Structure 1
Amino acid sequence: MEQDLNALVDQAYAYKSRFEYELALNTFKQAIEILLSYTKQYTDENERAKAIRAIDTLLKQAEFCQAQLNPMIREEAKRLAYIQAPEPKPQSSRQSTQVQPSASHPQPQHQSDGPLEAMIENEILDSSNPVSWDDIAGLENPKRMLQEAIIQPSLFPHIYTGLRAPPKGILLFGPPGTGKTMLAKAVASQAKCCFFSISSSVLTSKFYGEAEKLVRALFTVARRRQPSVIFIDEVDSILSSRSESQHEASRRLQTEFLVQMDGVRGDSEERIVLIGATNRPQELDEAVRRRFTKRIYIDLPDVPAKMSLISSLMKNVNSNITDDQTRELMRMTEYFSGSDLAALCKEAAMVPLRTLTKEMLAQGIVPPVTIESFRAALRVIRPSVSRDSLTFYQRWNQEFGSN
């Protein structure tokens, strides 16, 4: 009997995954009735409690299916009203030969797009915590290119048309921790557009064919809410190079992405920009690289950017560092990324606290951060970018980059 119950529950979940909510609701109800009959027979309190928890889970699934039926019933009523409406008079001989929808041959309804689009709607980023361009130290050229490609076209769409239309794909590549995601957050805050933050977990599914439908739903919602920006962090995890050994599901997902980005369905006047960020640009497929028409190299911070970043991080900390010591610190932090410098400043701020007693901490007596604090922190915090990897990024930028 338990095997039959498990099979019934699996069937209910299968109906739900195919969005057949009415069948799923009825199957969940059958499983609940069987579980209730089992519960009455249990004498062990642990088994009874386990069955009650299972019933509660199935009840929640049944309530979800019931809630999904109401909007689908409304859509069905609209479809029937459309079918029963009088056929319009043909305006030309070509239109008169087209087959009109009828009750026996209704047009297909993509009911599966509704729940998937609702999932995509949840990925719209709330820009209530704004990030300005001034919050990002350095990276003047990437900031200028992003403003030209996204910010200005969203503010003056009547100017950026035709040959001046903004690019549909922008790739941010470079060493890890250099501010690629921070640039995307600034775009989300400054651009007057709908911003989607997408990861591989959003677009992958264990159900056959659902990943491609999620990609289609993503671009459908983006078109509906345009101007839109779609940001995909670690884009190489989704759009890597295709090969014969690649899994079929991954290949179908990439194909749908390529079609939606620049396929026969694409419109040259669409205001949709796809921003991808990656630390491994060499793993992207060539077709994907072609669709990212602007490939912006996000380099390690230079000396003025490092000084600005350290000054911003240490502004609320009591420090005692001279200009000569600052120049020495710049030499010691060669090959440090922005995130490495943030970790270094945090470690340096903790160094003076390690010499204090509990009484001194209670009184709030904290010595200033000195250059010796940074020297001690440098023995713990190391750069995450090697010389060889930096040379590779520079060479890839010379071959494929836009700056």
Structure 2
Amino acid sequence: STYLMDRGIQLWNEGQVQEKDGQTDDAINSYKQGCECMLKWLNYDKIASRANDLKKKTVMYMDHIEDLKKSKKQRVPAPAGNTGGSGEGGNKKDDEDKNQLNDAIKQCIVKCSPDITFKDVAGLDRAKQALQEAVILPRIMPQLFEGNREPWRAILLYGVPGTGKTYIAKALAAECQSTFFAISSSDLVSKYQGESERLVKALFELARAEERAVVFIDEIDSLCSARGQGDESESSKRIKTEFLVQMQGVDKNNKGVLILGATNFPENIDPAIRRRFEKRIEITLPEWVARKMILIGNVKKTKHNITEDQFEQLKELTEGFSASDLSNLMKDAVYQPVRDLQKATHFKLGQDGLIHLASPGEPGAYQGTLMQQEASKVAVPEVSIQHVINSIKTCKKTVGQADITRINNFTKQFGQEG
């Protein structure tokens, strides 16, 4: 049951309303009870991604409770976002808040991993070229970028889900030798009034402080959706305004900062923010050469007997598959030999001293199940082309024609193919 989790979230929401109405004591009590419910729930929650998110929120609320208690001692209780207070105590509190914001952003700095490079990215030549022009070439050959020839300051990667937008960003992180900030919209959106725009400002201030920096914002459409919609909150408007201000500052004053956005829904991005992205590159579904590279890459560490000619049999069968679809397909295919072992009714002892699959009536074959064999001596069959074909029957492509049409329409109006 998710009762404790749901109750914790409900209490947090009640606390926000109470805090906004100036009912500080009631808000503290609601936040505290919500944290207690959530801590109990976390003892039972086994879904890692959800648990990590809830842990962060619980710590955030616990810190906020302490802030509210301190503010009660310093001044009359005020709604969330009111930055009252004066004198040295107020300045000290502002410094502490700024340090907390900076610490939160610093957690998003990626330590570059050398195991993913542009060579591992199948296809997407135009996207890789643009990123090299924006980040890598200016570092190693600065003389190429003089006068009106300046590196790109902001690049938007967009396309249907699963095409490799985040993957190419990871490859850039490994190659750029710059400070790489990997941000999702959830890292910048806070439930506390006024804090989200401060997080945006802190992000860009930290990036500008570096000699060279890349700010990668995933799912940027959820952070910078079109303004003027009926259900848009004041907080959302302020975030977009701050984002526009900061991006404009990058355009004018900072030659070493690249803003890299990624989205599955580019049409939802606010037009003013969209214009700030000088390059808008569609990350397309992979052509056959790229698909083949992805298929081979996802089986090369596993014993297989698939030949080059046999891979060619998959050209038509994988048409319309995204990079993510192909990875999932091969993940299923490399499991097929294990399933063969589980379904097997006959085995035989090979000349290598290992136990192999056998057909009924085959010389040396004996009847039995996998679990009846000596575990350490069971040989795993190689992955074959038939295993891949069997997996294609169950692993369908996830990109629909409606999504492809939607992205194509955006590309015709505002973008270019990668």
| Shared fold (TM-score, shorter chain, > 0.5) | yes
Instruction: Give 1:144-163 correspondences, 5 Å limit.
Output: 144-163=129-148
| Counterpart residue number, 1:273 | 258
TM-score, length-scaled by structure 2: 0.69
Distance 1:392 1:9 in 2: 46
> Helix, strand or coil for the counterpart of 2:334?
helix
**Do the aligned residues in 1 keep the contact of 2:321 with 2:397 (CA within 8 Å)?**
yes
Distance 2:407 2:30 in 1: 51
Distance 1:296 1:159 in 2: 23
Distance 2:69 2:308 in 1: 73
> Helix, strand or coil for the counterpart of 2:261?
strand
- Encode CA deviations 1:202-253: one digit per residue, 9 max, x unaligned: 1111211111111111111111113111001111110111124111111110
**Residue 169 (structure 1) aligned with residue 216 (structure 2):** no
TM-score, length-scaled by structure 1: 0.72
Report the Cα offset of residue 351 of structure 1.
1.5
Structure 1's 366 and 129: CA in aligned 2 closer, same or farther, altered over 3 A?
same
Structure 1 stretch 165-174 or stretch 388-397: which is displaced more?
388-397
Distance 2:374 2:332 in 1: 20
The counterpart of 1:363, out of the listed 377, 398, 408, is 377
Instruction: Give 1:3-402 correspondences, 5 Å limit.
Output: 7=26, 9=28, 17=64, 23=70, 112-245=97-230, 246-262=232-248, 267-356=252-341, 357-358=370-371, 359=373, 362-402=376-416
Equivalenced residues, count: 323
**Do the aligned residues in 1 keep the contact of 2:133 with 2:152 (CA within 8 Å)?**
no
**Do the aligned residues in 2 keep the contact of 1:142 with 1:296 (CA within 8 Å)?**
yes
Distance 1:15 1:126 in 2: 29
**Do the aligned residues in 1 keep the contact of 2:158 with 2:265 (CA within 8 Å)?**
yes
Report the Cα offset of residue 161 of structure 1.
4.0
One-letter amino acid of the counterpart of residue 260, structure 2: I
Structure 1's 201 and 389: CA in aligned 2 closer, same or farther, altered over 3 A?
closer
Distance 1:402 1:161 in 2: 25
> Helix, strand or coil for the counterpart of 2:315?
helix
Percent identity, please: 37
Report the Cα offset of residue 396 of structure 1.
2.1
**Runs of at least 5 residues in structure 1 that lack an aligned partner in the other structure:** 28-71, 77-107
Report the Cα offset of residue 148 of structure 1.
1.0
One-letter amino acid of the counterpart of residue 348, structure 1: A
- Encode CA deviations 1:232-279: one digit per residue, 9 max, x unaligned: 11111101111241111111101110111015x863443211101111
Structure 1's 349 and 168: CA in aligned 2 closer, same or farther, altered over 3 A?
same
One-letter amino acid of the counterpart of residue 154, structure 1: R
Structure 1 stretch 150-159 or stretch 296-305: which is displaced more?
150-159
Distance 1:223 1:323 in 2: 48
Structure 1's 223 and 361: CA in aligned 2 closer, same or farther, altered over 3 A?
same
> Helix, strand or coil for the counterpart of 2:321?
coil
**Do the aligned residues in 2 keep the contact of 1:223 with 1:270 (CA within 8 Å)?**
no
> Helix, strand or coil for the counterpart of 1:164?
coil
Distance 1:258 1:230 in 2: 14
**Runs of at least 5 residues in structure 2 that lack an aligned partner in the other structure:** 1-22, 33-60, 75-87, 342-369
Distance 1:174 1:207 in 2: 32
Distance 2:399 2:69 in 1: 55
Structure 1 stretch 383-392 or stretch 305-314: which is displaced more?
383-392
| Counterpart residue number, 2:347 | none
> Helix, strand or coil for the counterpart of 1:231?
strand
**Do the aligned residues in 2 keep the contact of 1:15 with 1:24 (CA within 8 Å)?**
no
Report the Cα offset of residue 289 of structure 1.
0.9
**Do the aligned residues in 2 keep the contact of 1:12 with 1:25 (CA within 8 Å)?**
no
Structure 1's 371 and 12: CA in aligned 2 closer, same or farther, altered over 3 A?
closer
Larger Rg: 1
When the two chains are superposed, the root-mean-square deviation of aligned CA atoms in Å is 3.2
Report the Cα offset of residue 342 of structure 1.
1.0
**Do the aligned residues in 1 keep the contact of 2:214 with 2:258 (CA within 8 Å)?**
yes
Structure 1's 380 and 23: CA in aligned 2 closer, same or farther, altered over 3 A?
same
**Do the aligned residues in 1 keep the contact of 2:156 with 2:281 (CA within 8 Å)?**
yes
Structure 1's 343 and 19: CA in aligned 2 closer, same or farther, altered over 3 A?
same
